[in-house]
Amino acid sequence: MKAPGWYGAFLVGNMAMGAASALLPLYAYFLGGTAADVGALAAVGSLTNVLASLFWGKLADRTRRRRPFVVLSFAGFALAYGLLPLVGRPGPLYPLNVWVAFTWMASAQMAVLFLLSSLPRELWERELGRFNAYCGVGWTLGLALGAVWVTVLVSVTGEAWGLRSLGVVVAALALVATGLAGRSIKDTGGKVEAPAFREFAATMGGYLYEILRYGPVQLYEVLRPSQVVRFLQGKTVFGPDLILVYYAGLLTFVGFSMVFAPFPVFVRQKLQWPNEFVFALYVAHHGVSVVAFSWARKAVARWGHRPVASLALVSRAGMFSALVFMGSGAKWALPALFGLFGATWAMFHLAMTAVVSRLSPTGQQGQGLGLYNAVAGLGSVLGSLGGGFLAEWIGFPAAFLSGAALLVLTLPILLVEGRPVP
């Protein structure tokens, strides 16, 4: 079956988002921002994603129209980055990032709702996989475009206009995505209920947009203030085994973000490497992760979910520690390390989503995965703030080693298996 035309809009939209993902921290650093500023910027974006998904999810329940939300999402993204060249200090980047995260979440949610409402249930898994592949390819192409653009422009116009002009390119790509979405998305008026995740969640790649739609809504429904303590004790329908997995996920994403949030500043400030090298590192990460999902599936089938996730954490802990000894002459070692980061991300993500979906009570897999996504978002907020603070006030080794230590501490929690994963 030929891919729908509107997939192209999301491929281009993800190109814009991929380029912007590395541009924002680099531009913040260029404007005088510190590692703490960059970490806080990432934390604000993560928190906005969680809150925005709740807002757009409730709004989606009231209407069956998807196209206006997608068009407004891409247009809002274009507006933000069109204004980026006018920003002359780090402070205004915070509201800009809030706006970007808020508007982007609308398209991320509506796309999956539109896809599922227009297809028979037996085609959901295949089409979600293909759609996510389009998005992943677009994101990687955007990072590659950013690397090439700043390489050429910085040498001609200087760093200031090299970065600012990339913001204009990102805005132009988002406008193209806006036009493609307006022309190709046709509202069907269909409605979709929260699907059963058990069978297809374990086979999906790295872009589980379904989680973004249903997760935070379920989080607020389940974690009412009167139930927080009971939830943390495992005295819920999810049981103590799944709660331990949530604890492991929280610590893991705190550890990940403590390293990756301040990392662009580390490359620019400590290693004294150019902006294009930062883009190239993330190209390696995303490119390898896309390829590695097929390897990760085979590893999970052969060794099991928890051992594969644990192997990924041990590997990442070692690599995070190795960053402490990374000097400015290690230009070939760091790309290889980032490629391994991509491979271990595929292993960890696939194994953990499978564990959560399989341990969730029957009929509540969507809620279980939604809670996991919300926990991951919370971990990203805390880790970004903590990593930025440690890098700024103590040093980058403190952030990297703290992230590695959290991953090691997570291992016994993750390996506790009161109930085998079916």
133: helix, coil or strand? helix
pTM of the full structure: 0.80
- In this predicted model, what pLDDT tens digit does every residue of 44-62 receive, in sequence order? 988 887 777 767 766 765 6
For the chain, the straight-line distance linking the first and the last C-alpha, in angstroms and rounded, comes to 33
Q: What's the whole-number mean pLDDT along residues 132-137?
A: 78
| 95, containing H or E segment | helix 93-117
Exposure string (b/e) for 371-402, b if CB count within 10 Å is 16 or more?
A: bbbbbbbbbbbbbbbbbbbbbbeeebbbbbbb
Identical topology for domains 1-193 and 194-422: yes
Q: Name the pLDDT band for 121 (thresholds 50, 70, 90).
A: low
Phi/psi of residue 187, nearest 5 degrees:
-65, 130
> What CATH class does 194-422 carry?
mainly alpha
> CA 350 to CA 304: how far, in whole Å?
11
Inform me whether the pLDDT recorded for 374 exceeds 50. Answer: yes
CA angle 212, 216, 218 (to 5 degrees): 115
CA angle 360, 365, 367 (to 5 degrees): 100
CA distances from 94 to 26, 87, 97, 163, 238 (A): 14, 11, 5, 17, 36
Domain boundaries, the chain: 1-193, 194-422
- In this predicted model, what pLDDT tens digit does every residue of 395-418 receive, in sequence order? 999 999 999 999 999 999 888 755
> CA 388 to CA 38: how far, in whole Å?
7
Sequence-ordered alpha helix ranges (H) in 268-364: 275-303, 305-323, 333-359
- In this predicted model, what pLDDT tens digit does every residue of 196-251 receive, in sequence order? 433 333 333 333 433 333 333 334 344 444 455 555 556 666 677 788 888 899 99
> CA 127 to CA 133: how far, in whole Å?
10
> What CATH class does 1-193 carry?
mainly alpha
Exposure string (b/e) for 207-234, b if CB count within 10 Å is 16 or more?
A: bbbbbbbbbbbbbeebbeeeeeeebeeb
Q: What's the whole-number mean pLDDT along residues 77-99?
A: 92
